[in-house]
């Protein structure tokens, strides 16, 4: 496998992680983490697949919705392991008090990623969130413009 193919496969892991979190799809996480993986988040550290699979449901309970967008992605491959960094902007929509607009709690994240090739496929063996900053903005429900 070429370095570019390795990078593309690891980039897909980051994008699949975003989708799993935003759409409450723990089944997707099973395909992208090793059984003994560690996810070090801001709220807690989740060790092992069983604990990691609880994260999308926790997000679903806490927020109306989330939106993880993946940006810069750099990896260094050494045989069957790799290390990298993934930039992400993650919006978390809170329900605001009645009669007010929603609140978007946004995090600018640099994930510190470690990967391991398992049976020929790259997986996360460790993913740690480094939060660079957060910001809070008002979020409006999308209203389609009236048809002409």
Q: Does the pLDDT of residue 24 top 90, yes or no?
A: yes
pLDDT in tens, 47-72: 999 999 999 999 999 999 999 999 99
pLDDT in tens, 100-144: 788 999 999 999 999 999 999 999 999 999 999 999 998 887 777
Residue 83 within any structural domain of the chain: yes
What gap in Å lies between CA 110 and CA 131, rounded to an integer? Answer: 6
Q: Does the pLDDT of residue 2 top 90, yes or no?
A: no
Instruction: Identify the pLDDT of residue 1.
Output: 61
Answer whether 0.75 is exceeded by the pTM. Answer: yes
How many domains does the chain fold into? 1
CATH code where residue 39 lies: 3.10.450.50
Residue 112 within any structural domain of the chain: yes
Q: Which residue has the higher pLDDT, 25 or 145?
A: 25
Residue 46 within any structural domain of the chain: yes
Integer CA distances (angstroms), 79 to 1, 48, 58, 131, in order? 11, 23, 35, 29
Q: Which two tokens stand for residue 122?
A: 């790259």
Residue 20 within any structural domain of the chain: yes
Residue 145 within any structural domain of the chain: no
Domain residues for the domain of 29 are 3-139
């Amino acid at each position: 496998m070429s370095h570019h193919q390795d990078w593309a496969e690891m980039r897909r892991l980051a994008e699949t992680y975003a989708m799993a979190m935003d759409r409450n799809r723990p089944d997707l996480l099973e395909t992208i983490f090793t059984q003994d993986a560690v996810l070090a988040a801001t709220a807690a550290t989740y060790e092992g697949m069983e604990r990691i699979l609880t994260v999308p449901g926790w997000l679903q309970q806490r927020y109306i919705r989330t939106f993880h967008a993946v940006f810069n992605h750099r990896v260094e491959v050494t045989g069957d392991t790799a290390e990298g960094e993934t930039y992400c902007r993650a919006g978390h929509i809170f329900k605001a008090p009645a009669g007010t607009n929603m609140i978007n709690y946004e995090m600018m994240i640099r994930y510190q990623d470690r990967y391991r090739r398992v049976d020929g496929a790259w997986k996360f063996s460790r993913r740690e969130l480094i939060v660079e900053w957060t910001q809070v903005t008002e979020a409006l429900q999308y209203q389609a413009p009236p048809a002409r």
